[in-house]
Structure 1
Amino acid sequence: MAGLGEHITAMVRSHASGDDSAFYAVALQIAAREAKQGHHTLAADIKKAVDASRQATPRSNVTKLAQPRGDLAELIQTSHPDISLRDLVVPLGLATQIKQVIAEQRQRKRLLDSGFSPVHRLLLEGPPGTGKTMTASVLAHELALPMHTVRLDALMSKYMGETASKLRLVFDEVETRRGVYLFDEFDALGADRAGNDVGEARRILNSFLVFLENAGPESLVVAATNHRAILDRALFRRFDLVLTYDRPDARQAVAVMRARLGSLVKGTSLAKLGEYCDGLSHADLVKAAEAAAKSALMRGDAQVDREDLVAALAARRSSSVG
């Protein structure tokens, strides 16, 4: 078994990289080493500390990194999401893919040491309000990483003419500062330009393709789009994984509203609300649930009843259609 010094070195490295699984694994190896040497009380204390730390919410210990400065301050907005995987309501197959991304990132050192790269370049596509941005937040939270949202509006307007050089700044940050980098409304950057502008826009897209292909596995690059059909085809093979989102079915819609309302709908029947949820996105359902909750609370009720939700869903559908 490796010496104590090697174990401590491994723990420091895993802590620095944010790899909780590796950190705990080494700690348990140390506990086993101490037990073998007859130090049973110390071994038990180490195991108890590991168990307690695993059960605690690790996000409270995440270092709040300073906001980017200089040009990056106008290109990247940093946040520390507090949205866990259990808060995300998506089909089972999609949830399984997201869990796999998280698992690979947690075990990235082991994969890299064996010659395999963890999934770290994701394209999320689907209608607005279906959970794409929320997924990026979940990845950041579950991996205890900051989320850096790239402001494509500033990139494509204020810096037009030097966008490619600013993109390089962003991807330099991807390489040097581990995190989740979200390119939201990505079609602004990745739309197919074949029939339109073949000048600056094409150079920007080509630069992005090169930067993305060369991006290392330490950070996750997440691009989200509402318009897959207009994306340049060359983009798809540069991403490790494409996740497709859709509006929730009746069961998922109820789950979304229950998750938002919590105890406010305890005992309230939400069966057969599907006809009122048809065509609504996750975001629409959350807003409808919030509207129903406010109506109930303002009239002095402690519970949201079915009629509150039906009325709020109908109003939301009417506004969405309009």
Structure 2
Amino acid sequence: MLMAGQGSHITAMVRSHASGDDEAFYSVVLQVAAREARQGHHRLAGDIKKAVEASRSRPRTPLAEVTTLPRPQGDVAEVMDVREPRERLRDLVTSAELAGQIVQVIQEQRQRAVLMEHGFVPTHRLLLEGPPGTGKTMTASVIASELSLPVCTVRLDGLMSRFMGETASRLRIVFDEVSTRRAVYLFDEFDALGADRSGNDVGEARRVLNSFLLFLESASPESIVIAATNHRAILDRALFRRFDAVLAYSLPGGKQAQTLIRKRLGSLVKGVPLGGLGALTRGLSHADLVKAAESAAKSALMRGDSAVTRADLESALAARRLASLG
């Protein structure tokens, strides 16, 4: 006869296996191993852990090779783009606090079957806010990639301008997908919908916003809904409490800037001192720094060099500052 704990673990494993979520499955299996160890069954616990480690060490098959990516059909195809994410958690350069929040979301989703079995809902409604180019879109890709899910992007500014008068009904179509197809759904340019409006601009935008919030409230925890905005200041303050978590992004500091450059250039910048570049990197976004690093690399490679020089970086950063900051 199964004990209550054993039954919940088996149920959680079946659910995670059925949904194709390997990490959630492994997480539950390791919980079983820990329980066996506490009961003194150390050999069994060790065997379980070794089996998990062996399985995890096998090459990870890309999502596209496991299953065909869901291609939007009919009305959904007009409002949503679907792609396979490639960025991983190790690729994201951000503060320790923000990285911790992102890891927490991923871990809760991996163990969602266990949480829901005990009456808890995993974090699945996120608001990302901060300057352009600071990693909001990449975060959606990272979460999707770590969970082996596709990213479905809905650009709200285009949706509202293209389907004025029909936006709410189009949103319903998207949230029907949220309920039926597990994925990460990114609502980009959220300020197009959530701006605090007054006067003649209230009408359509307010109706659409209310529809979005109703859909969000009932969104399936099997999927992750992410709203991203570059303009927190113009959002209706009442919106923030509708999300499970609000993640704040900022421009990178000096050390983050160096890490970004080194990550992008790899061996091309080996041995090159990056200290003292603060005056050139200050005010640039993550995306700006990556583009500057790529520009420096191209300059070095096209002249036949196998490494980027400090001068290459300084020149590229100065050019990027001029383009981005005026």
TM-score by length of 2: 0.88
2:8 and 2:117 in contact (8 A); partners too: no
Question: Equivalent of 2:219, from 215, 229, 252?
Answer: 215
Alignment of 1:34-183 (within 5 A): 49-58=51-60, 60-61=62-63, 62-183=66-187
Amino acid at match of 2:287: A
Deviations 1:207-229 (A, max 9, x none): 01111111121111101100011
Deviations 1:59-106 (A, max 9, x none): 525523231100101111011111011110101111111111111111
Amino acid at match of 2:325: V
Displacement after TM superposition at 1:162 (Å): 1.2
Question: Unaligned regions of 5+ residues in structure 2, if any?
Answer: 37-42
Task: Give the match for residue 300 of structure 2.
Answer: 296
Q: Report the CA distance shift for 1:185/1:175 in structure 2 as closer, same or farther (over 3 A).
A: same
1:250 and 1:278 in contact (8 A); partners too: yes
SS in 1 for 2:201: coil
Paired residue total: 317
CA distance in 1, matches of 2:24, 2:303: 52
Comparing 150-159 and 196-205, the one that deviates more: 150-159
Q: Report the CA distance shift for 1:268/1:152 in structure 2 as closer, same or farther (over 3 A).
A: same
Q: Report the CA distance shift for 1:169/1:253 in structure 2 as closer, same or farther (over 3 A).
A: same
CA distance in 1, matches of 2:265, 2:24: 37
Question: Equivalent of 1:250, from 254, 269, 277?
Answer: 254
Question: Equivalent of 1:17, from 7, 12, 19?
Answer: 19
Task: Work out whether 1:310 is the aligned partner of 2:296.
Answer: no
Q: Report the CA distance shift for 1:317/1:7 in structure 2 as closer, same or farther (over 3 A).
A: closer
Question: Equivalent of 1:205, from 204, 209, 225?
Answer: 209
1:74 and 1:154 in contact (8 A); partners too: no
Task: Give the match for residue 192 of structure 2.
Answer: 188
Task: Give the match for residue 37 of structure 1.
Answer: none
CA distance in 1, matches of 2:248, 2:158: 27
Displacement after TM superposition at 1:48 (Å): 5.1
1:58 and 1:144 in contact (8 A); partners too: no
Q: Percent identity?
A: 69
Deviations 1:163-218 (A, max 9, x none): 11111111111111111000111111111123342211111011011111111211
Displacement after TM superposition at 1:43 (Å): 10
CA distance in 2, matches of 1:9, 1:229: 44
Q: C-alpha root-mean-square deviation of aligned residues, in Å?
A: 2.8
Displacement after TM superposition at 1:259 (Å): 0.7
Q: Report the CA distance shift for 1:17/1:56 in structure 2 as closer, same or farther (over 3 A).
A: same
CA distance in 1, matches of 2:167, 2:207: 9
Displacement after TM superposition at 1:252 (Å): 0.2
Q: Report the CA distance shift for 1:107/1:9 in structure 2 as closer, same or farther (over 3 A).
A: closer
Amino acid at match of 1:13: R
Amino acid at match of 2:268: L
Deviations 1:272-316 (A, max 9, x none): 111210110000000000000000000000001111000000010
SS in 2 for 1:223: strand
CA distance in 1, matches of 2:89, 2:69: 23
Amino acid at match of 1:244: A
Deviations 1:15-36 (A, max 9, x none): 2224324423566769x99xxx
2:154 and 2:185 in contact (8 A); partners too: yes
2:23 and 2:147 in contact (8 A); partners too: no
Task: Give the match for residue 227 of structure 1.
Answer: 231
Task: Give the match for residue 36 of structure 1.
Answer: none
SS in 2 for 1:236: helix
Deviations 1:95-138 (A, max 9, x none): 11111111111111111122211111111101100111011110
Displacement after TM superposition at 1:236 (Å): 0.8
Comparing 63-72 and 20-29, the one that deviates more: 20-29
SS in 2 for 1:58: coil
